[in-house]
Amino acid sequence: MAAAGIDPRSGYSAETRTFHSTREPGELPPESLPVTATAYAFSLLSSPLPDRPALVDAATGIAVSYPSFLAAVRSLARGLWCSLGLRPGDVALVVAPSRLDVPVLGLALMSIGAVVSPANPVSTPEEYAHQVRLSKPVVAFAVGEVAAKLPPDLRCVVMGSDEYRRMADGGGGGGGGEVVMPAAVAVKQSDTAAVLYSSGTTGRVKAVAITHRNLIALIALHAENREKVAREAVEAGEEPPPAAVTLVPIPLFHVFGFMMVLRSVSMGETAVLMERFDFLAALRAIERYRVTLLPAAPPLLVAMVKSEEARRRDLSSLLVIGIGGAPLGREVAEQFAAVFPDVEIVQGYGLTESSGAVAATVGPEESKAYGSVGKLASHLQAKIVDPSTGEELGPGQRGELWIFITGYVGDDEATAATVDSEGWLKTGDLCYFNEDGFLYIVDRLKELIKYKGYQVPPAELEHILHSHPEIADAAVIPYPDEEAGELPMAFIVRQPGSNITEAQVMDYVAKHVAPYKKVRRVAFVTAIPKSPAGKILRRELVQQAMSMGASKL
């Protein structure tokens, strides 16, 4: 790296003003080799197949073994090809909660070169119509309660119906004039494997194309990280960590949940699926299934630190919590480490547009870099750009993070607005890399509060509020003000039994920040609205604040 003008410590090239990954690149199949993400994932499984469950339903305890899981994927793939007539490039909308048949369907679709496009089962008919216009599916697979909300001209197969069961059984293909599935379907790695929908927390939902090569690179990255952790454990004279049992409380239509299940099955591990997140149910599942890995957003750590139930449960199996979806404050991380000293916090940062991980911490030492989301993934390059001047910045300087992506599906306007002519995606996140190549997320640029010309990051104030023992949850938004422009306003969820006041909240924050960052309005609420991935829905809170008007908060 040094020979190429790249600082081996930070990964920064002063010549190109670009940050490069300092991680060893993983071994990938040649790009010219036709292979699907499904085929690559299954190729990593041991022989004989793992003797643990591939999938478990958290609510019922129903488990699917690896032989049954692979057989189900291959049988359904035949049905999709022979009975339904799906072919490479055909897009299939999948609208269902996180049930056991959803990963089977997704992997079956990708295995024949069809494109899986998972969507939120609680969306409205208008939202589905918008998604259909973007991704142009030829068929939808939906649970019964959702089917009626889909556009009437879109063919829909109801999951669990007789038609779906016949398809899952192979759907024909036995000769006698019937369609026969070829032994191998030629699919390029550069072909689209999935179309995922961005969260839409700052605007309308966008459809993002993800190639088989994207998914293969991410699977390889996880395999490489697992080998690195195992190797370091052996070198330290310790036992390598066991195969993970991952609780997946994040919806499978979200890139975080989608990738966690794909990662789990390619590693020969166990994924425990929850249809919808419930904090107490998650604690019960960790205890019942001896969960070792929990992907989550920062509010879950706050809840665990402050929960008496979490202390009563046997959570001794839990080894790692993987944090994503929002910045994690040092205070919360340190409080969690004090209560759960045997649980390693792995931080990561990703986007739907990047197919998941942009950066992550790997191993116990990196995980001690509290506040950082880790080092740049081996398959990526990045820039830090001053959003006002366009100047490309170096280590320690704050600016907007840019990374490479391919673009948005069916939305040239969205692509032009966020991707420059060279293919750099403007993430909208205010970030910086330090001298050791660790990435730090400050906040969303669009969410920065402009107080008398100063920029106030809401996440910084939320981290402070979360550290207060009488505050169960918090969110900070900009509130319009004629004199200041915008005021930091906090929405607070009190801990049960707490009577903390507006003045006490403001005083607590004021002790920790510069005067311009002080919280100047407070509202008490019963819950903070969040997306399924745990992101605060600030637009809803802004609307709520506006509806309060001049009334006393």
Helix (H) or strand (E) holding 424: strand 424-433
- What is the per-residue pLDDT for 378? 80
Predicted pLDDT at 473: 93
Tell me the pTM: 0.81
CA dihedral 12→16→18→21, nearest 10 degrees, is -60
The 3-state DSSP class for residue 95 equals strand
Residue 352 annotated in active site: yes
Catalytic residue list contains 226 = yes
Residue 140: name the closest of 108, 193, 93, 76 by CA.
93
Candidate list 206, 226, 463, 518, residue with the active-site label: 226
Q: Which CATH superfamily is domain 448-548 in?
A: ANL, C-terminal domain (3.30.300.30)
The reply to whether 448-548 shares the fold of 1-21+380-447 is no
Pairwise CA distance, residues 312 & 244, whole Å: 23
Domain 1-21+380-447 in CATH 2.30.38.10? The answer is yes
Is 450 an annotated catalytic residue?
A: yes
Strand locations in 83-211 (E): 91-95, 115-119, 139-142, 156-158, 192-197, 207-211
Tell me which amino acid residue 519 is: V
Amino acid at 37: A
Dihedrals phi, psi of 210, to nearest 5 degrees = -125, 125
Q: Give the integer Cα–Cα distance in Å for 35 and 211.
A: 11
Surface-to-core class of residue 140, CB atoms within 10 Å of its CB (0-12 exposed, 13-18 middle, 19+ buried): buried
Eight-class DSSP state of 24: P
C-alpha torsion angle, residues 100, 101, 107, 110 (rounded to 10): -150
Phi, psi of 264 (to 5 degrees): -60, -50
Beta bridge mates, 375: 360, 438
Q: Which of 352, 361, 418, 427 is catalytic?
A: 352
Among 306, 375, 535, 538, which one carries the catalytic annotation?
A: 535
Beta strands 521-524 and 156-158 are: unpaired
Where exactly are the structural domains of the chain? 1-21+380-447, 64-209, 448-548
Residue listed under structure tokens 């697979």: 141
Contact in structure between 138 and 91 (CB atoms under 8 Å): yes
Catalytic residue among 130, 206, 213, 254: 254
The predicted structure's pLDDT at residue 297: 79
Query: In which residue ranges of the chain is pLDDT below 70?
Result: 1-4, 172-179, 199-204, 355-356, 405-421, 549-553
The string of DSSP letters for 351-383 reads EGGGTEEEEE--HHHHHTSTTEEEEEPTT-EEE
**Opening angle at CA 490, ends 488 and 494, nearest 5:** 165
Q: Per-residue pLDDT tens for 145-188? A: 999 999 999 999 999 999 999 999 987 544 444 667 777 788 99
**pLDDT tens across 407-436, in order?**
556 556 655 566 666 778 888 888 999 999
* Residue-wise burial string across 48-61, b where 16 or more C-beta atoms lie within 10 A, e elsewhere: ebbeebbbbbbeee
- Asked if 427 contacts 401 with a C-beta cutoff of 8 angstroms, the reply is yes
pLDDT at 412: 62
What pLDDT was estimated at residue 199? 60
Question: Catalytic annotation on 535?
Answer: yes
CATH topology for 64-209?
Answer: Rossmann fold (3.40.50)
